[in-house]
Amino acid sequence: MKPQLINPLGGYIEERTERLRTDSTTIYSVTNERGFVRSLDLFDKQVFSADTGNYKRVAFQDLAYNPSRINVGSVAMLEDENGGAVSPMYVIVHCKPGLLPRYLLHFLKSEAGINQIRQRCEGAVRFQLKFRDLCAIPIYAPSLAEQERILNLLGEADGLRKLRAGADHRNNAIIPALFHEMFGYPKENPFDWPVVTLGDLIVDGPQNGLYKPSNAYGEGTPILRIDAFYDGVVTKLWSELRRLNISAEEIKRYRVNENDILVNRVNSGNHLGKSALLQTIPEPTVFESNMMRFSFDPQRANGAFLIHLLQTTHFRRHVESRAKHAIGQSSINQTDLKLLSVPLPPVALQNEFACRVAEIRKLEASQASSRTHLDTLFQSMLHRAFNGEL
């Protein structure tokens, strides 16, 4: 890397502070993953002030970032040729002729850029990157032609990642579609399966989880919380779970076992009824108080069938209909959970569904490996790009 091509960002950028005043335009928010998103699309309702006169203008290809969240990727470039406006909290950055906006965006989202951002804010009581701090960050800024060449290479690599992400998104719909093909919609019960209560299938539980105050987390036994679940399974690594110093008696009382099902019993984060089937548990693990645990009769219900039934829109609404409502929160108790009605297909058909789900999960694991490889490749290219090695 040529030392003369490394300079503070302040020589390449300027801050925009123009206010919207009485004009009207599209109001945007900046997200970590999706970049600029219309506020009305993001929140499905108007959450911004009715008086937008103090909002900041954003021009086409200007960057905007949240000073308190840029360290986690809350920075984006506006693609709307008509421009827009954002909350006064954002910092608006305009690139001078010697720096391409998309080149700057890639840099700020790269590991090198994020490390520089964090260094500039180290020791702050509340993390915040002001514009003057951004200006002090050094950047490798070759000629515009070389920046274009680097962007083309990064674009090809990022395109492969987006193709992989698109395939993953389509795959997410396969298992729900398979469930509806084999069993129909639970509300309609088109095959006229016998209807039983969930309690008829439960052999142990339901049981509420362990309550511990937030300051109790530390070392020791892992605890399963709602943020560990996705699509009916635990997606967090056990090494990523929060841990508690608890007694052997508490571990014995609140321990989860393979083939247990956990159901979120409160409407925290709109997750009432969210559930997961526990399949591999590498070490003794407990579960938190917002959830209920139960095990079921394997002679009557297959776990893969049951967990996907519990995740259907119909069943989640069924849970909500039996929930008790208090100020600001809804919850379902053990008795009402057991009274929920479920259609019960022949266990042989449930087992066939489970086998096909296992095949799909195997494919997903292979695709996850491919996604990781592409992400690693892209990050390596970013590292090389901003070190003058690409």
User: Could you report the per-residue pLDDT of 17-71, keeping only the tens digit for each?
Assistant: 999 887 778 889 888 778 888 876 654 444 455 678 889 999 999 999 988 888 7
Provide CATH 3.90.220.20 ranges for the chain: 3-141, 178-345
Beta strands per DSSP E along 44-106:
56-58, 63-65, 75-77, 84-86, 91-95
* pLDDT tens by residue, 165-180: 666 666 667 888 888 8
Amino acid at residue number 80: D
Of the candidates 341, 236, 337, the one whose C-alpha atom is nearest the C-alpha of residue 293 is 337
**What pLDDT score was predicted for residue 286?**
93
Q: Tokens for 195?
A: 């209807």
Within a 10 A sphere around the Cβ of 13, how many other Cβ atoms?
22
Of the candidates 206, 381, 179, 386, the one whose C-alpha atom is nearest the C-alpha of residue 289 is 206
By the 10 Å C-beta count (0-12 exposed, 13-18 middle, 19+ buried), 119 is classed as: exposed
Q: What is the mean pLDDT of residues 202-224?
A: 86
Q: Tokens for 296?
A: 């079921």
Instruction: Give the bridge partners for 93, in sequence order.
Output: 15, 63
Beta strands per DSSP E along 96-199:
138-140, 195-197
- Give Cβ neighbours of residue 220 (< 8 Å, ≥ 6 apart): 243, 244, 245, 246
**What pLDDT score was predicted for residue 259?**
92
Q: What does residue 307 show for φ and ψ, rounded to 5 degrees?
A: -70, -35
82 vs 61: CA distance, rounded Å: 10
**What pLDDT score was predicted for residue 212?**
81
The CATH superfamily holding the domain 3-141 is DNA methylase specificity domains (3.90.220.20)
Q: What is the mean pLDDT of residues 212-226?
A: 83
Taken in order 346, 347, 351, 353, the sign of the CA dihedral is positive
Q: What is the mean pLDDT of residues 302-324?
A: 87
**What pLDDT score was predicted for residue 260?**
93
299 vs 73: CA distance, rounded Å: 49
Position with higher pLDDT, 251 vs 376: 251
Q: Tokens for 171?
A: 């795959």
**What pLDDT score was predicted for residue 361?**
82
Helix (H) or strand (E) holding 277: strand 275-277
371 vs 331: CA distance, rounded Å: 37
Query: Considering the chain, what percentage of its residues have pLDDT values greater than 70?
Result: 89
**What pLDDT score was predicted for residue 31?**
83
Residue 4 has pLDDT above 70, yes or no: no
Does domain 178-345 sit in CATH 3.10.110.10?
A: no
Q: Report whether 318 contacts 255 (CB < 8 A).
A: no
Give counts: helices (H), strands (E), the chain: 12, 23
Measured between alpha carbons, how far apart are the two ends of the chain, in Å? 10
Taken in order 294, 295, 300, 306, the sign of the CA dihedral is positive
Strand 217-224 with 286-287, pairing: parallel
State the average pLDDT for the chain.
Answer: 84
Q: Report whether 270 contacts 175 (CB < 8 A).
A: no
Kindly indicate the confidence band of residue 156, based on its pLDDT and cuts at 50, 70 and 90.
confident
Least confidently predicted of 98-107, 287-296, 322-331: 322-331
* pLDDT tens by residue, 332-382: 888 988 998 889 999 999 999 999 988 888 877 776 666 777 777 777 777
Q: Report whether 232 contacts 307 (CB < 8 A).
A: yes
**pTM for this structure?**
0.58
Kindly indicate the confidence band of residue 15, based on its pLDDT and cuts at 50, 70 and 90.
very high
Of the candidates 106, 16, 99, 111, the one whose C-alpha atom is nearest the C-alpha of residue 56 is 16
226 vs 248: CA distance, rounded Å: 23
* pLDDT tens by residue, 177-206: 888 889 988 888 888 999 999 999 999 989
Strand 341-343 with 195-197, pairing: antiparallel
Strand 56-58 with 35-38, pairing: unpaired
**What pLDDT score was predicted for residue 73?**
78
303 vs 354: CA distance, rounded Å: 8
- Give Cβ neighbours of residue 248 (< 8 Å, ≥ 6 apart): none
**What pLDDT score was predicted for residue 83?**
92
